[in-house]
Amino acid sequence: MRTPGSLELDVLVAVAQHDGSAYGLLVRRAVSTARGSELSVGAAYTTLSRLEAKGLLSSRSTEPLPVRGGRSRREYRLTAAGREVLAAERERAGRRWGGSPQWGQA
């Protein structure tokens, strides 16, 4: 499988943080905070959909909610493949940064 891009990884991390109860708006907020720039609702929606198509996420629809004008929520959770991707990415980042000096620290 192709390595996920940086936005996809950020979305996977956001879903992992709220595993099982992550949905578009929540993911959008988490990713926007992590990246320091606003992620659009459309970008969150298409990225989640793409990750689900890749088999890294699974989802289920909730009951309709009044706060959403009577619409349901789609809640996402990581699949086993999604967890593997995140673990591999963490290991890769550790290898890359593990031996680096702590720039900027006294």
| Footprint on this chain of another protein (rule: CB under 8 A) | 23-25, 28, 40-46, 49-50, 53, 61, 63-74
d(CA 80, CA 57): 9
- 60 three-class SS: strand
Select 23 or 85, whichever has its Cβ closest to another protein.
23
- 58 three-class SS: strand
The helix (H) or strand (E) run that includes residue 18 is none
At its nearest, how many Å lie between another protein and the CB of residue 27?
A: 9
Select 41 or 93, whichever has its Cβ closest to another protein.
41
Contact predicate 74/59, CB 8 Å: yes
At its nearest, how many Å lie between another protein and the CB of residue 73?
A: 6
Select 35 or 71, whichever has its Cβ closest to another protein.
71
At its nearest, how many Å lie between another protein and the CB of residue 67?
A: 6
At its nearest, how many Å lie between another protein and the CB of residue 99?
A: 39
Q: For CA atoms 24, 26, 31, 32, give the dihedral sign.
A: positive
